[in-house]
Amino acid sequence: MTRLLLLGAGGQVGREIAALAPGRVPGLVALDRAGLDITDAPALDAALAAHRPDVVINAAGYTAVDRAESEPEAAHLINAVAPGRIAAACARHGARLIHISTDYVFDGTKAGAYVEDDPVAPLGVYGISKEAGERAVRERLDAHLIVRTSWVYGIHGANFLKTMLRLARERDRLTVVADQKGCPTATVDVAEGLLAAAVALHEGRMAPGTYHLAGTGATSWYGFARAIIERAAAHTGRRPEIVPIATADYPTPARRPANSELSSEKLAQAIGFRAAPWEPRAAGVVDQILATSAT
């Protein structure tokens, strides 16, 4: 049995992993921010000594992309320094590490889908901090997986899908960026993939290194929003107008990559896991959220 220690159990991905793990990886210990400060090296050592995990999944992170521009020290501490400390603790205690990273390590100028060994060139503080975290993990621990994902949404936490559902209730007209593309990825797929990878890594069936795990298929934020609103209308009857706009018409503190599409073929070849096609998966999440809110 694989003993698994989950860090960041209170986040949207962490909560999904904790919910799914009992049926897949029974030996799970899940720690949220209150249970363990991932920036505290002695506390990390104590946690690994106490729980003796075979694999650690780091699902913790500073994810406020725009706020990171004004809080670079906080983003760097959580996204760059802490992963290095986690990796070093894993090295000392003989554990393997799965660390979640992001499409924002790329600049978005590639024409096709990004593969794992494409050059990184982050555009903003968030991406810079995540890329530094990747390097810190690689430098301190050979037995690691860095798993990049993108456009994450689900029933927990704050995300684009839930924002669109709220705005569709409040407004009759929505404007959504149409010139950025990526792969919407459900938290359930991230969780399923990471749990499968944890077991495969522990059993020696998966080579350490960097992998992508993203929803199957690509779209724009506008296309994603249209699918969300159309599915929600089956529940609510509301169909606000959705207007496509350019990135230049919606300035934000942080620059976003125009192309965030990730190829997940390497992961599929390694362990046979593919995330679901994004559109039916998103429809299912909309159904789950709205069915729950109606009760």
CA 117 to each of CA 68, 111, 120, 181: distance values in angstroms, whole numbers, following the listed order: 26, 15, 8, 20
pLDDT of residue 257 exceeding 90, the answer is yes
The pair of three-digit structure tokens given for residue 73, joined into one six-digit string? 């020290």
The string of pLDDT tens digits covering residues 150-166 is 999 999 999 999 999 99
Q: How many helices (H) and strands (E) does the chain have?
A: 10, 12
Buried b (16+ CB within 10 A) or exposed e, 131-163: bbbbebbbebbeebbbbbbbbbbbbbbebbbbe
Average pLDDT, the chain: 95
Least confident of 138-142, 198-202, 289-293: 289-293
Q: Which of 76, 87, 63, 80 is nearest to 14 (CA)?
A: 63
CB distance 241 to 90 below 8 Å: no
Mean pLDDT, residues 232-258 taken together: 94
The string of pLDDT tens digits covering residues 114-129 is 999 999 999 999 999 9
The string of pLDDT tens digits covering residues 29-87 is 999 999 999 999 999 999 999 999 999 999 999 999 999 999 999 999 999 999 999 99
Cβ count within 10 A of residue 115: 14
The string of pLDDT tens digits covering residues 172-212 is 999 999 999 999 999 999 999 999 999 999 999 999 999 99
pLDDT of residue 293 exceeding 80, the answer is no
CB distance 160 to 224 below 8 Å: yes
Q: Could you say which of 114, 126, 153, 222 is catalytic?
A: 126
Could you tell me the domains of the chain? 3-153+183-217+260-272 (3.40.50.720)
pLDDT of residue 19 exceeding 80, the answer is yes
CA 178 to each of CA 41, 56, 167, 221, 246: distance values in angstroms, whole numbers, following the listed order: 43, 37, 17, 6, 6
Would residue 126 show up in a list of annotated catalytic residues for this protein? yes
Which residues, at least 6 apart from 130, have a Cβ–Cβ distance to it below 8 Å?
61, 79, 80, 101, 102, 104, 105, 122
CA torsion sign for 191, 106, 10, 282 is: negative
First to last CA, the chain: 38
Residues 270 and 116: their CA atoms lie apart, in Å, by 13
pLDDT of residue 294 exceeding 70, the answer is no
Percent of the chain with pLDDT over 90: 94
pLDDT of residue 25 exceeding 90, the answer is no
Residues 56 and 3: their CA atoms lie apart, in Å, by 9
**What pLDDT, on a 0 to 100 scale, did the predictor assign at position 63?**
93
